[in-house]
Amino acid sequence: MADVNIYEMGQTWNAGATAFTAIKMNVTDTASAAASHLLDLMVNSGSKFYVRKDGLVYAANNLTTEGHVAIQKDDGAVFFGTSTDLVIRRDAANTLAQRNGVNGQQLNIYSTYTDASNYRRIEIYNGGIIKRGAGTGIDNTVLYLYNVGAGPVTIGTSDTERWKFLAAGHFTAALDNTYDIGASGATRPRQLFLGPSTTAHANINLPATGVAPTSPVDGDIWFDGTNLKIQIGAATKTVTVA
């Protein structure tokens, strides 16, 4: 059977200064149920698409536009692109989520964008935060972790706070006498430069066979395997270890 239209209309729009309306229905609503529909399209007596009198638009399945945006009614999901891999959802009250099952998601926030090879952006993804640039977007600025409030900037692992940058700028451990910087014989910082004084509430361990500085300066301390050496001014003092 050939395709048959129940009703077909035609109209010519031919005036650039005129705002035309192809289909118009003006309902005077003095009394009606809240679920009254201005438009209701059905298949086998089941609504597939309707416009409620309060303006709500309902689609029985995904609502897809030519611009590749789809809205899913079940959980408020919004899909972008021709596939369904990028999804914005409502996680909970006042909570927006970008998630798609076990697939890691990434959010790129651009400061400059010329094309896919020339940009500067912050990447927020399931592995961390990176500042990245390419082509003309590369610069020498480092990534900042910044807190505009009075609270600290906290670094943690396994959902546990480990280190903190306090509002005054001090770098502290989250727990007293718990975490180390570097490890014995591995992953050690090369040198530590400190200000006027150093306070230690435990032992200071020097290598059993230390290496003397090539050009000792005032304040250097080292262990030569037998005695403790201290550089005071131009003189090297020896502290005999009993």
Query: Of the candidates 73, 75, 81, 80, which has an alpha carbon nearest to the alpha carbon of residue 95?
Result: 75
> What pLDDT was estimated at residue 197?
73
Comparing C-alpha atoms, which of 242, 204, 203 is closest to residue 226? 242
Residue ranges, the chain, pLDDT below 50? none
How far, in Å, are 1, 43, 140, 223 from residue 4 at the CA level?
8, 16, 67, 99
207-210 contact pairs (CB < 8 A, 24+): none
- For residue 210, the model assigns a pLDDT of 65
Task: Return the amino acid letter for 14.
Answer: N
CA 239 and chain centroid, separation: 55
pTM value is 0.56
What's the confidence (pLDDT) of residue 208?
66
At residue 152, the pLDDT reads: 86
* pLDDT at residue 38 in the model: 96
Q: What is the pLDDT of residue 87?
A: 86
Q: What is the pLDDT of residues 105-115, one digit of tens each?
A: 999 999 999 99
Q: Is residue 58 within 8 Å of residue 42, measured between CB atoms?
A: no
Local structure of 137: helix, strand or coil: helix
CB atoms within 10 A of CB 13: 9
- pLDDT reported for residue 186: 87
Mean pLDDT of the chain: 85
pLDDT at site 75? 66
pLDDT tens for each residue of 55-110: 988 988 877 777 667 777 666 788 877 777 888 888 888 998 998 889 989 999 99
